[in-house]
Amino acid sequence: MKILIWGFQVNPEIRDSVIDLIEQLKESDHAVFILDSFAMAIQLDNDIEHIPEHTVPDDIDMILSIGGDGTLLSAAQSVMKRPIPLLGVNLGSLGFLTGLERDWRSNLAEVLAGHYTVEERMVLNCRQMNEDGKDVTFWGLNDVVIERGEYFTMLAMQVHVNGRYLNTYSADGLILATPTGSTAYNLATGGPILDPGLEAIIITPIAPHTLSVRPIVLPADARIEIKLVKPEQKGRIYIDGKVWKPLNASDSLRIRTSSYRIKLVTLPGLTFYDKLREKFHWGRRSAL
């Protein structure tokens, strides 16, 4: 296989892991490449080929993301339109998207032997249109987040679903999350956890002014349109926490499920429910 090592975090554990990882991959006769900025950041001195972030070859068979969920999300942005599987090695904190944990060495051997499964995850398509008719499109594996801009004021956001008025939210912002992203920012703001195998879109307000406003789960075929209500308002759009753009009152956001899918590599037998129990310590009694 042709395997690209991806990352951007820098610490001794990550550097040592990358060196071990390269050695194990070479011993297994795989072609190894590394993201050029990552190699420079960890001061890697070896003879493997360095690849720039925006020129990932189509014939890469797998990307190994070293870090946490944020690192894997950046890798997902690079392969959004291509069916290149992603395998995350969690050297961060929670690691809901990563397939391997800190004891990755033995489990990686199983993956290299072909003992793994690939899950296809839903992606959001976000189209930003301005009053001149110009538009730009983004794709997010986790979420599309609308937040207030540089001024400390609430946003008034009018939301339509399939052409029908849903609500005008007065809040610090809105999160539109996929089931994959339900355990990220959505969860931190009180949104529900969804099984990543579902096809759905969650709308979760951030610090809503009205206490009766709650998150809502929409079907995957929903067509969502969002506009700022007040002409003087300005906000920001964040895609997976990696890409951001300014949002003006004259802009319109149209969000729907994308035809693209992200492929995540997982170990057989490790379920989403196993991860929930492990990461959130469900079923464990704390000592008094």
Low-confidence ranges of the chain (pLDDT < 70): 285-288
Is 69 in the active site?
yes
Residues 121 and 102: their CA atoms lie apart, in Å, by 24
**What is the end-to-end Cα distance of the chain in Å, rounded?**
51
Tell me what pLDDT residue 108 has: 87
| Residue 112 sits in the same domain as residue 180 | no
Q: Assess contact for 51 and 37: CB atoms under 8 A.
A: no
Structure tokens at 148: 């207030």
Three-state secondary structure call for residue 127: strand
Tell me what pLDDT residue 133 has: 80
| Residue 275 sits in the same domain as residue 200 | no
Tell me what pLDDT residue 281 has: 83
Q: What is the pTM of this model?
A: 0.92
Residues 127 and 225: their CA atoms lie apart, in Å, by 10
Of 36, 45, 58, 69, the catalytic one is 69
Q: Residue 170: left if φ>0, alpha if ψ -120 to 50, beta else—which one?
A: beta
Tell me what pLDDT residue 191 has: 97
Tell me what pLDDT residue 286 has: 58
| Residue 132 sits in the same domain as residue 111 | no
Tell me what pLDDT residue 285 has: 67
Tell me what pLDDT residue 151 has: 72
Q: State which residues form the domain around 19.
A: 2-116+267-280
Question: Which residues on neighbouring strands pair with residue 256, listed in sequence order?
Answer: 125
| Residue 191 sits in the same domain as residue 253 | yes
Count of domains observed in the chain: 2
Residue 95: give its domain's CATH number: 3.40.50.10330
